[in-house]
Amino acid sequence: MSEKLKVGVIGATGMVGQRYVTLLADHPWFEVAVVAASAHSAGKTYAEAVNGRWKMQAPIPDGVKELPVLDANDIEAVTSQVDFVFSAVSMSKDEIRKIEEDYAKTETPVVSNNSAHRWTPDVPMIVPEINPEHSDVIKYQRERLGTKRGFIAVKPNCSIQSYTPALAAWQQFEPTQVIATTYQAISGAGKTLEDAPEIVGNVIPYIPGEEAKSEDEPLKIFGHVDAATGTIVSADAPTITSQCLRVPVLYGHTAAAFVNFKQKPTKEELVAALESYSGEPQKLGLPSAPKQFIQYMTDDFRPQVRYDVNFENGMGISIGRLRPDKIFDWKFVGLSHNTARGAAGGAILCAELLKAQGYITKK
């Protein structure tokens, strides 16, 4: 691109906002032009606003250190300077739904990390390798919002990234039932191990709202755009049940999953389907796309967070321990990076896809 698109990050001072800022530092298509947060941070430089609470291992990028933090509620001030925004605001769901629609109605596309709009019927919830065609629903959303350019797109919950890509690769074998137990990193709660003494040497068996997301969101991803209603209709299968636990790990969500299939694939067929699976991001060569979306690991002791969470810069999925089960057909272990693929990185890849599809353009 000869000229980068100007991006605003709203909710820029939180952990996901910090990850956005870090990942966008040298992006070939996008440039952070605005950082916005709560009124408490407004008026400070970005470096001042995150002083003492910078959670990334990389330093604050030079390009944003001295940017003034705007009030995320001052929508006109933000949108007048950007082509689109990433949303990582921390508010109630009703407040998030309203502010994201208010941004979209200024003809500013919103790519959101938040869950508030995931079940809005005409808002696409995209994993770019799996359901890029769901962006087709944007035209119906624009009709509802009364916009020509503005819209909202969301990325799904971080917990599903460690097993849903495998289910996508295995769609030809028609998965019917899935059990998924996830072991989720503390950064998923916006904390580090230092911020969360309650997790050290501990496992917490409940993450509010997470199990419903883990069970239902894959079905929207596997669904289809219905032109008659202008909405996304969820798939009927597979039936998914889950339990979600918080564990003393900084980055990386691990899943132990069990699957039944209508067809009866062999292990060789399942592994081949994983290793050969790719999608539009790979075909288009999008900047954040992993070359290998899913890797299969033959060592029984892998995948491990310590060694594998950063596969493909955290944008790839690692699957291992695929073996027959006594009750289900097959079982496996999956691993994904929860703040790269599962949060900011997944949203950036979604924005790249939407740009390539012509939905995000220069104002």
- For the annotated catalytic residues, the residue numbers are 158, 253
Residue 120 phi, psi (nearest 5) = -70, 120
Q: Is 318 left (phi over 0), alpha (psi -120 to 50) or beta?
A: beta
- The alpha carbon of 363 is separated from its chain's Cα centroid by a whole number of angstroms, namely 25
* Residue corresponding to tokens 């900047």: 287
Burial of 298 (0-12, 13-18, 19+ CB in 10 A): exposed
Burial of 2 (0-12, 13-18, 19+ CB in 10 A): exposed
Contacts of 22 (CB under 8 A, 6+ apart): 56, 58, 61
Residue 59, token pair as written in the block: 């330093």
Do the bridges between strand 152-154 and strand 175-184 make them parallel or antiparallel, or are there none, so unpaired? unpaired
Cis peptide upstream of residue 238 (ω within 30 degrees of 0): yes
What's 283-322 look like in SS3?
Answer: HHCCCCCCCCCEEEECCCCCCCHHHHCCCCCCCCEEEEEE
Q: Are 135 and 111 in contact (CB under 8 A)?
A: no
Do the bridges between strand 30-37 and strand 5-10 make them parallel or antiparallel, or are there none, so unpaired? parallel
Q: Residue 28 carries which DSSP code?
A: S
Report the b/e string of 81-115 with b at 16+ CB within 10 A.
ebbbbbbbbbbeeeebbebbbebbebbbbbbbbbb
Residue 256, token pair as written in the block: 């132990």
